[in-house]
Structures are given as structure tokens and as C-alpha cells.
Amino acid sequence: MKTLENLIDDVLEQNRCDFRFRAHRNQHGQITIYVHPIDISGDTLDFAVSGNTLTPIMQIPCDRCAGCGKLADDEDQTPWKYWMELPVQSAIVVLTGIVKPIDCPNCKGLGYTLIEG
């Protein structure tokens, strides 16, 4: 797994020194950030923030919703992306609103879960 030190080292090797970090508050109320070099291609690393401690995290596609964040509100609660791929003739239940998307309860609609690495 690439470390923050590895990422910084890669950028310094290219005679650059600028990074962007973007902050989010996840579904559990925890603050997360991602760090990415500015103006050059490079890896993006995600961290959970606690005080002055950064814990690496990885985004894992949610198994329950197949990574789309939504489930059909039918009995099977099939991942919504499969309903969106139906041929037009079969999609009538979607078009008429008989089957509707709901947020996946596992990932709260995000389509992924975060695990600390």
C-alpha cells in the first residue's frame, strides 16, 4: 500500500510540492480527507482524521447495492443499476414508478464503504 510519505516523495521527485486535500464528513460523522498532487498525475490517498492522526482508509464497493448506492424497493431489493439496464419493454415498471430506488441501507447511498488500512 502506498504511504503518504511515498506520495510526497513521488511528487518531490518531479520537482513539484503542491497538494490538494479535500475534506468530507462520512455517514458515521467521521471526518475524512483525500490528498492528491496538484497539476500532475498521481495517486490519491484517503485518510480518516482524528486529532492530529491520519489513518489510511480504502473505499470498497458496497456488495449489497453492487456499488450504485441504490436498491429497488421491490421484495428482492435488487441493486438499482440492474433495473436501469433492463430492455425498454421490461423497464415499464421503472418508468411508471411501480418499482422505485431507495438508498442502500448498508452504505447509506454512497455505493462504497470505507475500511481503515
Question: Is there binding between residue 107 and Zn ion (CB under 5 A)?
Answer: yes
Q: Which of 66, 55, 36 lies closest to 114 in space, CA to CA?
A: 55
The radius of gyration of the chain from alpha carbons, rounded to an integer in Å, stands at 19
Q: Which of 17, 26, 68 lies closest to 47 in space, CA to CA?
A: 26
CB of 25 to Zn ion, least distance (A): 18
Question: Is there binding between residue 48 and Zn ion (CB under 5 A)?
Answer: no
CB of 9 to Zn ion, least distance (A): 35
**Binding residue for Zn ion (CB under 5 A) from 45, 57, 104, 114?**
104
Alpha carbon 18 to its chain centroid, in Å, reads: 24
Site string for Zn ion, 54-83 (x = CB under 5 A): --------x-xx------------------
Strands 31-37 and 19-25: antiparallel
How many residues of this chain bind Zn ion (CB under 5 A)? 6
Partnered with residue 13 across adjacent β-strands are none
CB of 71 to Zn ion, least distance (A): 8
Q: Which of 74, 54, 61, 50 lies closest to 117 in space, CA to CA?
A: 54
Identity of the residue, 62 or 72, whose beta carbon is nearer to Zn ion in the bound complex: 62
Residues that bind Zn ion (CB under 5 A): 62, 64-65, 104, 106-107
